[in-house]
Amino acid sequence: MTDTDMVMSCRKVWKLFGPRPGAYLAGLDPAASFDQIRADGYVPAVRDVSLDISKGEMLVIMGLSGSGKSTLVRCLSRLIEITGGEVRVEGQVIGDLSEKELIDLRRNKMGMVFQSFGLLPHRTVLENVAFPLEMRGQDIHTRRARALEVIELVGLGGREDYFPRELSGGQQQRVGIARSLAIEPDIWFLDEPFSALDPLIRREMQDEFLRLQGLLGKTIVFITHDFDEALRLADRIAIMKDGAVEQCDRPDRIVMEPATEYVAKFIEDIEKARVVHASAMMQPVNGHDLTGAAVDGGKTISQLARLLVNDDRLILPVAGPDGAIIGGLDRQKALDVLLGAKE
């Protein structure tokens, strides 16, 4: 990742709750554990987190309840002040911003969607979506035109005069998404936005979200506790425990190469073949005679199951998006992922 690709970064970010947290952090032993810090009377909600987020990336932050994922996002957006470390947005240290500069950053660069929809019950869909533009000071005609545009984008055209009580849960969530999109944010924070929805509506909203991301190419930080949801959405997944990031990587790398015992436990019930792509398992050609039809490097081992079972080649050529051969796939290793390695 180059500096020009990076939209947001954090370095050694801490958020401690307790008496005089700054002074405590200054004297803290770097090797101190979560339990040791708790024993000293502090809650280490975020512990020494360093992350880079690139333009157009969807980073999904996962973890059990209390792992620190929501607190981390609030640190990234400076909804709460960090105890130590540094957060940068497009190279700018947001901790150095004045209150006015921070408000301008949020109004013009950041969109936020939370689990609770936070809609204004006495305002229509149109008025709810236009609300942040009203706060920005835009005239009524400009904000109405923009609100109607994003209402159509999220599939609520024709419902702009409805009140929130007249909408389903999924439709209310779409209003929340439209409202955050109205300001055309470069960075989009979503904190478990679909967790309150029933499974069918949740799946529908995930599909809608992927469609929007394909159209808009936003930089997104998305919180969920649902690994299946993370797998559908993420470019990379950061798994948190006790305020720290245990591993941050592509989903297939996390499944194939868990960095810690906790991550291995976290993903132990995941069907690897459904996550791992052919390109993640391929090896250099190294003189192999790669003949015959190539497999699509973008497909998962599960999607290639029939071909893998029926083919008799030892090494299968792997093609990139342009059709060019980019490596070879060891068929037996792929079958081990699909069927389980022999004991």
pLDDT value of residue 185: 83
pLDDT value of residue 342: 57
For residue 58, the cross-strand partners are: 220
Rounded Cα distance between 113 and 189, Å, is 6
Q: Supply the pTM of this predicted model.
A: 0.84
Rounded Cα distance between 324 and 203, Å, is 34
Superfamily of domain covering 55-74+97-270: P-loop containing nucleotide triphosphate hydrolases (3.40.50.300)
pLDDT value of residue 287: 65
pLDDT value of residue 341: 62
> Of 135, 64, 144, nearest to 103 (Cα)?
135
For 285, list phi and psi in degrees, rounded to 5. Answer: -60, -45
Rounded Cα distance between 246 and 260, Å, is 7
Contact present, 90 and 79 (Cβ < 8 Å): no
Range list of β-strands (E), the chain: 6-17, 43-54, 58-62, 84-89, 92-93, 110-114, 187-191, 219-223, 236-241, 244-249, 295-296, 315-319, 325-330
Query: Any idea which fold 273-339 has?
Result: CBS-domain (3.10.580)
pLDDT value of residue 114: 76
Tokens 């690897």, located at residue? 272
Rounded Cα distance between 101 and 107, Å, is 10
Q: Which of the residues in the chain have pLDDT under 50?
A: 1
Residue ranges of domains in the chain: 55-74+97-270, 273-339
